Amino acid sequence: MADTAELVTNVSDTARWVAAFRAAESARPDALFHDPLADRVAGDRGRAIVAHGPRMMRDGWNLVTRTKLIDDLIIQTIAEGCDRVINLAAGMDTRPYRLDLPAELTWIEADLPALIAEKDALLADETPRCALTRTAVDLADPQARQRFLDEALAGAQRALVLTEGLIYYLSDDDVTSLAAALARPEIAWWAVDVNNKAIVKRISKATTELLANAPWQFGPVDPLRFFADLGWTADEVEHLAWAAHRFHRLPWFMKPFTLLPQPDPRAPINQAWKPWSAVVRLTHG
């Protein structure tokens, strides 16, 4: 096997990894979504990360499921009156080019400078379906993040903030600080994928070498309690394994779990060993 730590030189390379899974899903005859630009933005490195990554993570069922759930959640939230989408740590996501969006919708992407520069170049000849802009910002820098949010939210009244595949690369303190920064009146919803401690431990063990330069960190025992303590309540919760089962994407060896009752993510989680991950939509106050 290649020295996998060299495949993910920094956290931004993980965006190529996700894109490679979206490209593979798009090529299926029964694809859950069609992302025609995913292969381009994934590039050779994205495909190599999939090929050399841990065997248990090679089919990407969880990332494909997460993508489909968030696609649907965005469309639902726009129908509910969302007037702006702010995609924090947008990575190589290409939703503004592929979702059925109102042309007048403002969609703002933020990510680290090198990734933004590369994405701008890769997609320079493509036309988004809405009013798209991109900003280079380190979201772990509170002052830079504040400046970005002040600008990005000017004129918005019911914004949806999306942080997909971001928070587990941050520390607990960074997530706490992000949650406080997003608690402002222009932001009506925050869509985020959460993993509990049992999942984070399992993935960290499987990716010790691959993600040596971008280790998973944030993973509380009870993610919804963590956010509730910060004033953020989940109004939509989709458990990934059960959604994947519904979408016919759950690996065979996980199917027995879905014979059990679906865990209630809102109930306090006493059994810390139980793996649990979900896409949730949070509202504040």
Ligand X SMILES: C[S@@+](CC[C@H](N)C(=O)[O-])C[C@H]1O[C@@H](n2cnc3c(N)ncnc32)[C@H](O)[C@@H]1O
Run of H or E including 36: none
- Annotate each residue in 43-72 with x if it binds ligand X (CB under 6 A) or - if it does not, as one string: ------------------------------
The Cα–Cα gap between 130 and 95 comes to 10
| Contacts of ligand X in 14-33 (CB under 6 A) | 14-15, 18
Contact, 268 vs 225, CB < 8 A?
yes
d(CA 278, CA 236): 10
User: Which CB, 164 or 222, lies closer to ligand X?
Assistant: 164
Task: Please give the Cα distance from 75 to 83 (Å, whole number).
Answer: 12
Tell me the site size for ligand X, rule CB under 6 A.
20
In the complex, minimum distance from the CB of residue 98 to ligand X, in angstroms, rounded to a whole number: 13
Distance separating alpha carbons of residues 110 and 136, to the nearest angstrom: 6
90 near ligand X (CB under 6 A): yes
Between β-strands 232-239 and 277-284, what pairing exists: parallel, antiparallel or unpaired? antiparallel
> Whose Cβ is closer to ligand X: residue 117's or residue 272's?
117
Give min distance, CB of 252 to ligand X, in A: 26
Q: Which of 21, 107, 169, 218 binds ligand X (CB under 6 A)?
A: 169
At closest approach, how far in Å is the CB of 264 from ligand X? Answer: 26
Q: Enumerate the β-bridge partners of residue 163.
A: 88, 192
Under the binding rule (CB under 6 A), the answer on residue 93 touching ligand X is: yes
Question: In this structure, what are the phi and psi dihedrals at residue 246, rounded to the nearest 5 degrees?
Answer: -60, -35
Residue 112 as a binder of ligand X (CB under 6 A): the answer is: yes
Break the chain down into helix, strand, coil percent, rounded to 5: 45, 15, 40
Q: Which stretch binds ligand X (CB under 6 A): 161-169, 219-227, 237-245, 266-274?
A: 161-169
Tokens of 119: 């994405």
Q: Rounded to an integer, what distance in angstroms lies between the CA atom of residue 88 and that of residue 137?
A: 9
Using CB under 6 A as the binding rule, the residues of this chain from 242 to 281 that contact ligand X are none
Minimum distance of ligand X from residue 260's CB (angstroms): 28
Q: Does residue 213 sit in helix, strand or coil?
A: coil
Looking only at residues 113 through 132 of this chain, which bind ligand X when binding is defined by CB under 6 A?
115
In this chain, which of 4, 7, 8, 12 binds ligand X, going by CB under 6 A? 12
List residues binding ligand X (CB under 6 A): 11-12, 14-15, 18, 89-93, 111-112, 115, 138-140, 164-166, 169
